[in-house]
Amino acid sequence: MRKDFWKKIAAVALMAAMVMTLLAGCGKGGSNDGDAGDGGLGKDADAGNYDGAFTWWIYQIDGEGQYYQVYEDNPVAQYINQQYWDVKNGGIGTEETGRKLDFSFIVPVGGSESENFNTMIGTGDYPEIIDMSVSTDNPQTMYENGILMDITQYVEDYMPNYRAFLDKNPELKPFVQSQDEDGNVHYYAIYNLRDGVIDPWAGYSYRRDWVVKYAKPTEYVWDWDDADVQKNGHPEVTPLAKALEEDNLNGWKKNDVTKFEADYGADPDNDYTDNVIFPSGKTDPYTISDWEWMFEAFSKALEVRGVKDNGSAYCTTVYYSGAMMTGDLVSSFGGGTGSYYIKDGKVSYDGTSDNFKAYVECVSNWYEKGWLDSQFNTRANDVFFMINSAGVNQGIVGLWNGLVASLGTGIRPSCQFEEDQKDAYAMACPLPINDTYGTEEQMYKEPDALFQDSRIGTATGITTKAEGKDLAALFTFIDWTYTPEGGATMYFGMTKDQYESVTLDPDLYKEYGYDHAYEIDTDDEGKKVWRSAKDPADLVVLNGIRMAVGLHPANNNEESVDMRGSKVVQDAYKVWAQYLNTGSVLDYTSLLSSEESDEYNKVGTYVDDYVKQNLPKVIKEGMDNWDGYVDGLEALDPDSVTGYLQKYVDMANK
C-alpha cells in the first residue's frame, strides 16, 4: 500500500535543477544538438556522449522462460531497442534525429518476486528502472529514502502525451501525482494507465448443459414487451412464486418454451445454441430468482451423479469469510461491498447496512436449502476466482467464479463423469439483480462494486542509478507508450509495418505464424475497434506488457477492444463487464499517508478478523444472530477511519 505524504521541496534543490538545465546542449545527436530541452538530463555536455543503456527490473517473464530465455528476446523489447528516439519532437525519429536506447532486463524467479525486490532495495543493488508492483513503500517514500528520482522535470519536458491524458482524465491525477505543502505537483513514478474498462479475465460461470438437462421451464416469464416492465425494469411483483401467491401477473406472460434443447454444432465454443429462457424472460441469468431456479436444476444434476454428499460438490459458494469485500455478489442487493464503500462521493462502512443484511439473508437461505457450499468457511487458502478448483474442474460444481479457460468445452477434459466429459458446457453470467430479498430499497438495483481491473496500473520508478544517463531519450520513449501507436504496441504487439522495419532474432512472430498483431476497424456504430490478430494464448508472448508502462486501449464510449477468441469467450467479456465498479475504495487506500494508513489498517484488521470469525456463523446458523453480529461490529467503530478515505475521494472529485 502506498503511503504518500506531503513534503516541502527545498528551494535550493529546485535552483540546482535549473542550473543543470542551463548547462545543456553542446554535443552530438543529430538535429538535437544544442537543444535547450536536453540540458542536464543525462547528457555528457563536454563529450557529447549519450548513455542509453538501462537495466529494467520487471515482475515476470512470459512462461518463466518457456518462450525465450531472456526478456531482451521479447519481440517488442527488440523493436524498442532498434528505434531512434527523437527527444526534440517526441516519438520515434531517425538515425539523424534520434538516439538509441539499450534495455536489458532483470527478472526474478517465479515465486520469489517480493523477496528479490526487497533484497535488491535493501542492499542498494538495484537497476535504473524498477517495476514497483510488489513494493511495500510508495514512490514518494522511496524518493525520500534516496532510491527514486523526482522525475517531475522530465515528465514536464518530455511527456506531453502522458500529461495530456491526465488532463483529459483529471480524476486519475491524485493517484499518479504527489503534492507538497505549497501545492506544487511532483511525479515520483510513471503509471501504467487504462483508457477504460479492460476485458475481465474472470467472472461467474455456470453449467449451461445442466440447465438444459435438468431445469424445468417456468409457466410464466417476464414480458419485456410490456410497457410497465420496459418503464420499471421488472413486473409488478417478483419472483414468480410471490406473483402467483398474490395473483398478480402484471408484467408476466405465458412461457412458450416447454422443453429445453441444445445444439452443440460442429464447433461448440463457437456454434453452440439452445432455447433456454430464464424466469426473467432473458436468455442469460439476470436475477437472483434466476439463480435460485438454476440451483434447483444443479441439485438434480448432483443427485443424479451421486455426489450430493460430496463436500466438494455444490450449487455455488462464497468467499471463506462469507463475503467478498470488493463487493461482487454483495453489490447485487442495492449496492455496496460489505466493507468500506463509496456512493455518490460519500465513503461509509457498509457491513452493517440493510443492503448487506439482504445479502446475508440470501446466502443464509441458500445454505439452509443445501445450495451453498457447506465447507465455504474452510477454504481460506483459495483465491476468490479459484475456490475449490478441484471440484470445479471435476465438473461437480454448478456455478463458480473462475477463469475463461473453463468456459465452453474447456471444462470437459477434467470432468469426473463420462457424461460430462462428452457434453459439459460452461457459460458466463453477470452479477444478478436482486428481486427476492429485503425491501424495495434492496431490489432491482444494478451492482456498483465489483472486481474490475483498475484504470491505474503498476508504478514504474526511475532510480538514482539512472542519473547521468540519457534520461531525455528514456522519457521520450516512455511518453511514446502513451500514444495510440505506442500503447497498442505495448498491449497488442507490432503492426505489419513495424514488424517489417526490424530484424528479430529470435523471430517469434515468424515462429507463431504472424506478420502483425492487430488491426484497427470500425464497428456498426462507428466506434473504433482495436482488433487483435493473434490467438489469445499467444498474446502476452508477443507484446510488451511486462514493461509496465503505457496507455492500454480499452472499452469506452469512443473505442473498444476485440481480443479474438471463441464466441463463448467473447460473450463472457461482454457479460462480465456489464456493470461498472464505482463503489470500491481500493484505489483510494493507496493514497493514504503513513500515519493514515497505519490507523486505517489497525481498525481494518480488527474489523476483518471479526467478520471472518463471525459472519460465517450468521450465514450457517441463521438471521437470528444478525443483531448480535452488528452490535459486535459497531463496537469496533469501523466508521472512525472513513474520514481518511473521504479526504482523497473529495480531492479526486474536485
Summarize pLDDT for 634-650 with one digit per residue, the tens.
999 999 999 999 998 98
pLDDT at 542: 86
Considering the domain architecture, whether residues 632 and 489 belong to the same structural domain is answered as no
For 155-216, give the DSSP string.
Answer: HHHH-HHHHHHHHHSGGGHHHH-EE-TT--EE--SEEEEESSBPPPSEEEEEEHHHHHHHPP
Residue 221 inside a domain? The answer is no
pLDDT at 422: 96
Alpha-carbon separation of residue 122 from 6, 145, 563 (angstroms): 24, 11, 40
Select from 115, 146, 105 the least CA-distant residue to 463. Answer: 146
> Whole-angstrom Cα distance, residue 148 to residue 186?
13
Domain limits for position 644 = 586-653
> Whole-angstrom Cα distance, residue 544 to residue 199?
18
Q: For residues 341-356, give the mean pLDDT.
A: 96
Considering the domain architecture, whether residues 165 and 50 belong to the same structural domain is answered as yes
Residue 256: DSSP 8-state: -
pLDDT at 7: 32
Considering the domain architecture, whether residues 516 and 609 belong to the same structural domain is answered as no
Q: For residues 155-180, give the mean pLDDT.
A: 93
> Whole-angstrom Cα distance, residue 313 to residue 640?
41
What region, left, alpha or beta, does residue 404 occupy, with left being phi > 0 and alpha being psi -120 to 50 degrees?
Answer: alpha
Q: For residues 76-103, give the mean pLDDT.
A: 97
SS3 286: coil
pLDDT at 183: 83
> Whole-angstrom Cα distance, residue 630 to residue 2?
31
Residue 239 inside a domain? The answer is no
Above 60 in pLDDT, residue 44?
Answer: no
Considering the domain architecture, whether residues 162 and 56 belong to the same structural domain is answered as yes
More confident position, 600 or 561: 600
Quote the radius of gyration of the chain (alpha carbons, Å). Answer: 27
Are 75 and 534 within 8 A, CB to CB?
A: no
In the chain, the number of structural domains is: 2
Residue 563 inside a domain? The answer is no
> Whole-angstrom Cα distance, residue 306 to residue 297?
14
Select from 547, 474, 477 the least CA-distant residue to 54. Answer: 474
pLDDT cut 90: percent of the chain above it = 76
Question: Lowest mean pLDDT: which of 66-70, 93-97, 122-126, 548-552?
Answer: 66-70
> Whole-angstrom Cα distance, residue 400 to residue 379?
14
Residue 331 inside a domain? The answer is no
pLDDT at 557: 80
Q: For residues 279-285, give the mean pLDDT.
A: 98
Q: For residues 357-382, give the mean pLDDT.
A: 97
Cβ atoms within 10 Å, residue 427: 22
Point out the domain boundary residue: 532, 548, 568: 532
Residue 510 inside a domain? The answer is yes
> Whole-angstrom Cα distance, residue 415 to residue 393?
6
Above 80 in pLDDT, residue 24?
Answer: no
Cross-sheet strand order for the sheet of 426-428: 399-403, 202-207, 426-428
Question: Lowest mean pLDDT: which of 139-153, 194-208, 240-254, 532-546?
Answer: 532-546
Point out the domain boundary residue: 532, 562, 594: 532
Which cell goes with 227?
A: 410497457
Which cell goes with 6?
A: 506531503
Above 80 in pLDDT, residue 234?
Answer: yes
pLDDT at 243: 97
Considering the domain architecture, whether residues 509 and 642 belong to the same structural domain is answered as no
Residue 402 inside a domain? The answer is no
Point out the domain boundary residue: 532, 550, 571: 532
Handedness of CA 410, 414, 416, 422 (dihedral sign): positive
Alpha-carbon separation of residue 448 from 342, 432, 439, 529 (angstroms): 9, 12, 18, 26
SS3 312: coil
Above 70 in pLDDT, residue 91?
Answer: yes
Considering the domain architecture, whether residues 17 and 139 belong to the same structural domain is answered as yes
Task: Work out the pLDDT band at 22, boundaries 50, 70, 90.
Answer: very low
pLDDT at 352: 97
Considering the domain architecture, whether residues 594 and 483 belong to the same structural domain is answered as no
Residue 320 inside a domain? The answer is no
> Whole-angstrom Cα distance, residue 68 to residue 506?
8
pLDDT at 29: 34
Which pairing describes strands 102-106 and 53-57: parallel, antiparallel, or unpaired?
parallel
> Whole-angstrom Cα distance, residue 435 to residue 288?
6
pLDDT at 3: 33
Are 61 and 107 within 8 A, CB to CB?
A: yes
Per-residue pLDDT tens digits for 25-39: 333 333 333 343 444
Select from 413, 424, 401, 405 the least CA-distant residue to 330. Answer: 401
Q: Which helix (H) or strand (E) holds 242?
A: helix 240-245
Q: Is the peptide bond before 506 cis (omega within 30 degrees of 0)?
A: yes
Question: Lowest mean pLDDT: which of 43-52, 352-361, 377-386, 593-602?
Answer: 43-52
Are 494 and 79 within 8 A, CB to CB?
A: yes
pLDDT at 612: 97
End-to-end Cα spacing for the chain: 23
Sequence-separated (6 or more) residues with CB below 8 Å from residue 403: 201, 202, 385, 386
Above 90 in pLDDT, residue 11?
Answer: no
Select from 579, 585, 286 the least CA-distant residue to 448. Answer: 579
Residue 2: DSSP 8-state: -
Considering the domain architecture, whether residues 149 and 24 belong to the same structural domain is answered as yes
Task: Work out the pLDDT band at 483, boundaries 50, 70, 90.
Answer: very high
Question: Lowest mean pLDDT: which of 69-73, 122-126, 336-340, 432-436?
Answer: 69-73
CATH number at residue 30: 3.40.190
Above 50 in pLDDT, residue 41?
Answer: no
Considering the domain architecture, whether residues 126 and 43 belong to the same structural domain is answered as yes
Which pairing describes strands 190-194 and 551-552: parallel, antiparallel, or unpaired?
parallel
Task: Work out the pLDDT band at 317, boundaries 50, 70, 90.
Answer: very high
Above 70 in pLDDT, residue 16?
Answer: no
Give me the chain's average pLDDT, please: 90
pLDDT at 200: 86
Task: Work out the pLDDT band at 593, boundaries 50, 70, 90.
Answer: confident
> Whole-angstrom Cα distance, residue 602 to residue 615?
20
The widest CA-to-CA distance across the chain, in whole angstroms, is 91
Residue 250 inside a domain? The answer is no
pLDDT at 49: 63
Which cell goes with 30?
A: 543529430
Considering the domain architecture, whether residues 590 and 505 belong to the same structural domain is answered as no
Considering the domain architecture, whether residues 168 and 26 belong to the same structural domain is answered as yes
Considering the domain architecture, whether residues 132 and 21 belong to the same structural domain is answered as yes
Sequence-separated (6 or more) residues with CB below 8 Å from residue 404: 201, 202, 410, 565, 569, 572
